[in-house]
Structure formats: structure tokens, C-alpha cells
Amino acid sequence: MSLPPGPRYLLQLAFPCLPPSIAVYVILNVFVTRGASIPCWFIALSALLSRPAFLLVCHFLSEMSNWVDARRKGALMVPRVYDRWPGGLSIVAAMVKNFKTGGPGDVFLQWREQYGNTYSLKIIGENRIFTFEPEHIKAILATQFDDFEKGPIFHSQFTTLLGTGVFNSDGDMWKFHRTITRPFFSKERISHFDVFDRHAEDALEQAHSRLTAGYPIDFQDLVSRFTLDSATEFLFGNDVRSLSAGLPYPPSPPSYPPSPASNDEHPSTRFVNAFIAGQTLSSLRSRYGPSWALVEFWYDRVRPHRAVVDEFTEPILEEALRNNHARRALGEQEKEDEEANSGTLLDHLVCQTQDRQVLKDELTNLLVAARDTTASLLTFAMYMLTQHPAIVTRLRAEILCTVGTARPTYEHIKEMKYMRAFINETLRLHPPVPFDSRTSNKATTWPVTRTNPGPSARPFYIPAHTKCTYGVFLMHRRTDLWGPDALTFDPDRFLDARVHTYLTPNPFIFLPFNAGPRICLGQQFAYNEASFLLTRLLQRFAHFSLAPPTSDDGVRPGVHLTMYVKGGLWVRMEPAPLEMDVNTEAEGLGVE
């Protein structure tokens, strides 16, 4: 039986506390034995205070050592955010408040305006560096990849949910996960859209039915179910059928009739709720640094949610293992190899390892990647459609001229350039993973940036074991990197001269899927899935508007592992004209 998080953390702290306390106690007792008159209370108090004194001395020596090493390397220390409370407590309070009530990166933006695009924080003994510079992010993800890792603190915060999966591992374990999943995301596998088509048809039929009944729909909930069902069928061969639960009804203020039904009792809803809660609580831990265990002192709040997720994945995993064992027992090695090459990703995984915990961890990690990121992209794409009717018109024109009303193919998706630009612009202003982090495994430096050139410019010094958080959400919105209209939603920036002015010479200013050895393996899968659903959506609907359940509700973005809309994205959608000739409608939309 494992200890609760709090006692386990205190025990880890206790062992380093003993040597200085014992040393002080022994030294003072030596003086007592030689005739010195030292009160017992003074000996006890000195032994007790020796640990914080020892930490202060170590902190001072560490700061001095880093300063000397930085000078030796010709580098500068990263500017530090001032904290008016000891231990970084006011910083922690600001970060937790922003997590619960603010928008993505609000507090980081305030500090950036004061300290620049790279600054440091000291939080309860943990040194952190935040950067929004493409050159520094490039160093973390690519050019100095071996100098950075997820690190032990990140592991402790996310192990309950992610285990040793690909998002929470380093070194050989990360290479193992990466190696066994890479072959499954080949072009041949991700260019067949049968899975997308089945679940898109189901989702849009339910949306049409609910809208016809006079209710708005929570589009975020709709696409989260669509991506979950698509992901579980594509990856595991077992559809969780979350769409069969039906769509939620809006709350019931006076302007709406009472909700006639609820999907809360459906088995998939329990899984979805646990999945979201586990991510939210795990992400909240990162705000407290290594001391998160003190907030969950007697009880690991994530564990019951991971248990619910495992209840879903375990039967699927056991079936795959039984099938694999049966093939092996019959000596059908060739059939096993064929299954691994042509079956689902789970079929492939069980041919590589029989370790159930490793497999369950990897399935959970893959669900985060396959469900949440694309659902976030589609949610904010819909938000942009509600705000920009002219863009809706252009997208429908491109779709009607390229695809008509038929099911889109992989070739159609490649041909629709404006659709790709629309998705990229959504990813720029609303990246699914707005912030991520790595930890330096040795002392290193970050290069001089393009925004701070010149002969007097010096690199930044990065001490060993420093958590480095990079924020593409803020980097994607910088006017010095994207031009004076950086905050304007305009897909044409990915098609006109601006792409050659800003993006082509500096590709690391656009990183919705990370970069370097850890670049997202499923990025083309995400583009295909999002393009397919948006195409089917715009073939059926022509006008979109926000319909918050109450007049006080707006679109309030939040972040756990990925970005989402707090309270859901409630919209109304008007059907496209029926029985209209495709060429006639395209001409009406301004397409020649």
C-alpha cells in the first residue's frame, strides 16, 4: 500500500533534513561535554532551525555558482519576476487564480510586458523560466534537445494520470513509445476516411435534430464525442459510442423550456467526465511546483479518475491480449505480423509488449492526443465561424467547387488551400496546447534572439534542473513576429505575401504541433480529421451564431492539458439551401 502524497513528500524532505540537524546537535553536545553551559531548549531550537539555515546557505551558494558559471560562459542571468511574499507565494496565488478564473496566459502576459519575452520565477524552492522567444523554444525542442527532458517534477505531477506513457517519459522509455507508435501514422493509414465519415454523419444528424427542436447545441461537447468515438475506433478497434448518449441540453433559464433529458447516466459520460477531471487536476498540480503533494496531502485526487479511465481501457486491452496469445499459441507468427501491420494501433502495441501497465499508460496518453487536441481545434474553429461570416462564405465556396456535396477524399482535402489556411489560423490564435515545459538536465545557454541582436547582446544562462515553460499561445500573437495585425483572425496570412515575410524565414514562430524529435506524430491525422468534419459541416450548414445559455455567458477559454471553452460553446446553425445546383450556389458565393 502506497503512502498518500503529503506524507510521502514530507518523508522525501525529511532525509535531507537530518544531516544538518544531527551535525548541529552533535557539535553543541561536544561543547556541553567540555563544560559549556548551553540550555537544552537552545540545542533543540538550533537543531530545528539548522535545516532552513542550511537551505538558505545552499541557495546563496547555488546562486553564486550560477552567476560565476554564467559569466564564464559569457551569458546573462534570466531576469527574475519580483515577489513581495517569501517563497514565491504571491506568484503561486496569481497563477492559481489565473488557472481558475482568468484567460490562457493572462498572468504570463502581465509579467512579459514588464520583464520581456524570457523571465524567471522562484516558486517554493523551484526555479522556473518562461519563454515566448522562437529561438529559445527551438533550442528546447530541437537544436539542444538532449539538454532538456520532461524531468522528475513533471513526472510526479502527471504520473497518476499518464503513467510512463509517451507524454510523461524520457530517455529509453520515450524512445520505446515513440518507436512502436510511429509506423501507425503513415500516410496510407490516415488517408482513409471511413471512420471519420461514420461518426461525422452521426454527429451532424444529432446536431440537426437538436437544432430543429429549437435548442442550441454545445459544439464543444459534440466534437469531443466525435473525436473520442473516431479515436477509439481508429486506435483500438472499439468505439466507445459516446455519441449514442445524445447531446446535452442547455441549462433552463426562463428563456428556455426545461431540459427534457440528460445524458449523465450513459456509461461513456462517466468515462468522459473522469478523463476531463483527471487532466484538470493534473494540470493544477503544476501551479504548485514540487509542493503539489501538500495540497493533496491525504488523498490523490487524480487516482479515482484514472481508475475510471482504466475501467474503459482494460476490457479492450484484455481482448487484444487474448487474441494475440491465441495467435501465438497456434504458431501463427505470420498472421500476427500481418495483424500488427494491418490492424489497429492496439493490435500493433500488443505485438511489441505484453506489459499491461505500459499498455494502459500508452492508451491513456494516445486518447489525450487523439481526442482533446482535435476537439480543441474544432471548437475554436467553430467559434471563428460564428465571428466571421465572410470566411464561412469563402470556405463554402471552396468546398462546393472542390467537393460538391459528396464525401471528401484525401485528394480533396489536399486541394482545399483556404481550408488549410483557416485551420492554421485557428491553430495560431487558439493552439490546443498553449503551454508546455521541459527541464534542463545540465547547465546550458539559450542563443541571442532576433529581437535582441547586436555585438553587445549575450545569451541567457540556464542553470541545471530548471523547469522551462514555453508558451506558443503568446508567441503566436506577437506583433513583432506576425506583423501589426497579429491579433486579427485572417487565414489569408498563410496564403499571401505575409507568409514569406514572417513565417518562411522563421518557421519556429508557428508551433501548434511542437517540433524536433518530440513533434506530434498525429498532426496530419488531426488536419485530416478536422478538415473532414468542417467540410461535412459546411456542406450542411451555412450560418453560425453564438447562443450562450444565459446573457452573462461569453466564450471563456480555459486550459488543462489542452485549451477549451469553459461552460461549453453553445451555438445555433442554420441549414444550407436544399436542392440547389452546386454550380449555381458556388456562383452565388462569388466563385467563378
Is 520 known to sit in a ligand binding site?
Answer: yes
Q: What is the pLDDT of residue 253?
A: 54
| Nearest-angstrom CA–CA distance, 360 and 320 | 12
| CATH 1.10.630.10-classified regions of the chain | 180-234+261-433+512-588
**Distances from the Cα of 516 to the Cαs of 138, 478, 519, in angstroms?**
8, 22, 5
Apex 361 CA angle, 360 and 366, nearest 5: 95
- Give, in order, the Cα–Cα distances in Å from 502 to each of 120, 285, 398, 519: 28, 36, 26, 21
Q: What's the confidence (pLDDT) of residue 252?
A: 66
Grid cell at residue 192: 482513409
Among residues 346, 370, 371, which one has the least CA distance to residue 358?
Answer: 346
User: Would you say 483 and 497 are in contact if contact means Cβ atoms under 8 Å apart?
Assistant: no
How many angstroms separate the first and last alpha carbons of the chain?
71
Give the span between the Cα atoms of 190 and 413, in whole angstroms: 12
DSSP, collapsed to helix, strand or coil, labels residue 119 as: strand
Identify the pLDDT of residue 101. 76
Q: Is 194 exposed, middle or buried (0-12, 13-18, 19+ CB in 10 A)?
A: exposed
In this prediction, residue 333 carries a pLDDT of 55
pLDDT of 440? 96
Q: What is the DSSP letter of 519?
A: -
Cβ-based neighbour number of residue 95 at 10 Å: 21
Residue 493 to residue 490: CA distance in whole angstroms:
6
- In contact, 419 and 534? CB cutoff 8 Å: yes
pLDDT for 553 equals 58
Apex 33 CA angle, 31 and 37, nearest 5: 60
Please count the helices (runs of H) and the strands (runs of E) in the chain: 25, 13
Q: Are β-strands 126-131 and 467-471 bridged in parallel, bridged antiparallel, or unpaired? A: parallel
In tens digits, the chain (592 residues) has pLDDT values of: 578 888 888 787 776 666 766 776 677 677 777 777 777 777 677 766 676 777 777 778 888 999 999 999 999 999 999 887 776 778 888 887 877 777 888 889 889 989 999 999 987 777 899 999 999 999 999 999 999 999 998 999 999 999 999 999 999 989 988 888 888 887 777 788 999 999 999 999 999 999 999 999 999 999 999 999 999 998 888 888 899 988 998 876 545 555 544 566 777 888 888 988 999 999 888 888 888 888 888 999 999 999 999 998 898 899 889 988 887 777 765 555 554 455 788 988 888 888 899 999 999 998 888 888 999 999 999 999 999 999 999 999 999 999 999 999 999 999 999 999 999 999 999 999 999 999 999 999 999 987 666 556 899 999 999 999 999 999 999 999 999 999 999 999 999 999 999 999 999 999 999 999 999 988 999 999 999 999 999 999 999 999 976 555 578 898 888 999 998 999 999 999 864 445 555 555 554 4
Residue 543: what are its φ and ψ, rounded to 5°? -140, 140
Q: Residue 445: phi, psi to the nearest 5?
A: -135, 155
Spacing of C-alpha 478 from chain mean position: 21
Quick one: DSSP state of residue 80? B
Architecture of domain 180-234+261-433+512-588: Orthogonal Bundle (1.10)
State residue 592's pLDDT score: 44
